[in-house]
Homo-oligomer: A and B are copies of this chain.
Amino acid sequence: MNDPLAHLPWAAADNFLGLSAEDAPGFTDAGVLILPVPYETTVSYMGGTRNGPRGLIHASRYVELYDHELDTEPYEIGVHTLPELHLTRAGPEPALGQLREAMDALVATGKFVVMLGGEHSLSAAPIQAHVAALGAGKRLSVLQLDAHADLRREYEGTPYSHASVMYRVHREVDIVPVGIRSLTAEERRLMRDRKIPVIFGHELEDSTLVDRAVGALGEDVYITIDVDYFDPAIMPSTGTPEPGGGWWNPTIRLLERVFREKHVVGCDVVELAPLPGLAGPDFLAAKLVYKLIGFHARTRQPR
């Protein structure tokens, strides 16, 4: 843009938080990277997760930069939004291969990466990238906020389904599922056999919830949040909304504890499927991501 134009009130680019050119760092200077992956193939019931990253980022422009619970402005850690990654449509295997490649390179930077889905099958790639980055001596825990166990061997004829994502990684990591309220008899057996410390949906209001979840996690934690974890009252915008899910404030308290007591290596928020005309759920997802960034940012500060 030329000089006589520069002083006019141009809008910021459509990045996470709608940051102006001054406030949004480049890739190199960022502390946090947002990776939008609008991938959707193995839809069930209502579709639309391919619109999730765009909807979340659009809504994020209205999230207040100041977090009054933390009393900080977490964006100051430097948040850089990557372009959308458009995975190949040649099939789930090559698509997830591309994503894994991206995640390996991003994890190698040492920055905190937040992936925005897209369908839950994507999460295998960042989880495996973090497992590889941690190395053989350490074992990654995965805090899975979700309505569904996602522990099926395969679904609709493919092992890469969103309903199988936790099965694909369950041997490599320790899964701590929270909020589960829909699973098959076979998934239930697997949970019992593997002693997976599940916290069901109807247990979400137990006062011991946070202690149980934190107690089950190891030192290094990856957090994957399928937004259908939340009660459909506050999160109708997802493919298979299951009644009896998590509410906002208790969930934020749980996440805060995990960030405070563990080493969170990365996270994702997936399965948002924006409903036209209904802004609240997109905004909730955006604020959730900013909360995750805020909790992460605090761990980098001298206390």
Question: Which residues of the partner chain B approach A287 to less than 8 Å between Cβ atoms?
Answer: 242-243
| Interface assignment of A229: CB less than 8 Å from any CB of chain B | no
Chain A's interface size range is: 35 or more
* Closest residue on chain B to residue A232 by CB atoms: B280
| Interface assignment of A87: CB less than 8 Å from any CB of chain B | yes
| Interface assignment of A5: CB less than 8 Å from any CB of chain B | yes
Bound Cα distance from A278 to B193, whole angstroms: 37
Tell me the minimal C-beta distance from A3 to chain B in angstroms.
Answer: 8
A58-77 CB contact bits vs B (8 Å, 1 = yes)? 01001011101101010000
Are A9 and B98 in contact, CB atoms less than 8 angstroms apart? Answer: yes
Task: Report how many copies the assembly holds.
Answer: 6
Are A279 and B64 in contact, CB atoms less than 8 angstroms apart? Answer: no
Residues from 16 to 62 in A contacting B, C-beta threshold 8 Å = 27-28, 40-48, 50, 59, 62
Are A47 and B48 in contact, CB atoms less than 8 angstroms apart? Answer: yes
Name the contact of A69 in the complex, choosing from B47, B90, B202, B241 (C-beta under 8 A): B202
* Closest residue on chain B to residue A203 by CB atoms: B249
Bound Cα distance from A71 to B188, whole angstroms: 9
Q: Which residue of A1, A44, A50, A243 has the most chain B CB atoms within 10 A of its CB atom?
A: A243
* Closest residue on chain B to residue A285 by CB atoms: B243
| Interface assignment of A260: CB less than 8 Å from any CB of chain B | no
Mostly, the A contact residues are loop
Tell me the minimal C-beta distance from A134 to chain B in angstroms.
Answer: 19
Are A277 and B275 in contact, CB atoms less than 8 angstroms apart? Answer: yes
Are B234 and A232 in contact, CB atoms less than 8 angstroms apart? Answer: yes
Known: A68-B200, A188-B66. A1 touches B27 (CB 8 A): yes
Bound Cα distance from A21 to B66, whole angstroms: 34
Are B68 and A183 in contact, CB atoms less than 8 angstroms apart? Answer: yes
| Interface assignment of A136: CB less than 8 Å from any CB of chain B | no
Are B236 and A244 in contact, CB atoms less than 8 angstroms apart? Answer: no
* Closest residue on chain B to residue A48 by CB atoms: B47
A129-164 CB contact bits vs B (8 Å, 1 = yes)? 000000000000000000000000000111001000
Bound Cα distance from A252 to B249, whole angstroms: 21
CB<8 Å pairs between A and B, sample of 20? A1-B27, A9-B86, A9-B87, A9-B88, A13-B83, A40-B43, A41-B41, A42-B89, A45-B62, A47-B47, A66-B185, A69-B200, A89-B161, A202-B249, A232-B283, A233-B234, A240-B283, A243-B287, A244-B248, A276-B277
